Amino acid sequence: LTASRRYDPGDLPQNALSRGFYDRPTEQVARELLGKTLVREIDGSVLAGRIVEVEAYLGEDDEAAHSFAGITERTRVIFGPPGHAYVYFSYGMHHCLNVVAEPTGRAGCVLVRALEPLSGLDEMFRRRPRAKAPRDLCSGPGKLTQAMGITLSHYGADLTAGALTIRESPDDDALIVRQTARIGITRSAELPLRFHLLDNPHVSRAR
């Protein structure tokens, strides 16, 4: 169970999730993103990982959400059409990837916190020189963006088509999901909006 599953790029799921998948309540989108496959095509190689940990950030009554302050230059995409990427620069050093949910005009997004690497591990190790084992590649929101080369250039990117997509997974049925409080926030910290797969070694460590 500690070994990472590895697939040839040709074996990865081909169908990207549709707009309708994201056009729903944020919490539901968050939970159902678990097990799906994030695919990044770059410089002729295919990087992919299975989503094993996410957090929901709501549009109302959630003081931890960036959208709580309303529409700004940074947050405008969160209020836009669902299925697009909200990427922000964190702590002056890291990028974090979110997926926009809810109908157009309403705020809500899902932070992708951890992946189980599936494909392109050699390239991921190149992008993360300090990583020693596969579990060091994508076991945190800043790690996975570095491993997959996701930056502010992906702000607003359409995740239903193109070089950065989230794809359907064949084995959603057997997933065991655990729901806890979110990590690393101070406001609205009591809300149980973090979801992860039970006992998956690639889930980030709580502090």
Partner DNA sequence: CCGCGGATCTTCT
Partner DNA sequence: GAAGATCCGCGGA
Beta carbons of 142 and 96 less than 8 angstroms apart: yes
CB 36 within 8 A of CB 45: no
Residue list 50-69, contact with DNA (CB under 7 A): 55, 57, 64-67, 69
Per CB under 7 A, the list member of 25, 142, 156, 201 interacting with DNA is: 142
Residues 6+ apart with CB under 8 A from 107: 58, 59, 60, 65, 67, 75, 78, 79
In the shown chain, the binding pattern of residues 95 to 134 toward DNA, with x for contact by CB under 7 A and - for none, equals: -x-x----------x-x----------------x-xx---
Nearer to DNA, 13 or 124 (CB): 124
The one among 74, 127, 167, 178 contacting DNA by CB under 7 A: 74
Environment class of 176 (CB within 10 Å of its CB; exposed 0-12, middle 13-18, buried 19+): exposed
β-pairing, 194-197 vs 37-42, is unpaired
User: Does position 190 bind DNA by CB under 7 A?
Assistant: no
Contacts to DNA by CB under 7 A? 55, 57, 64-67, 69, 72-75, 86, 88-94, 96, 98, 109, 111, 128, 130-131, 136, 140-144, 182-187, 204-205, 207
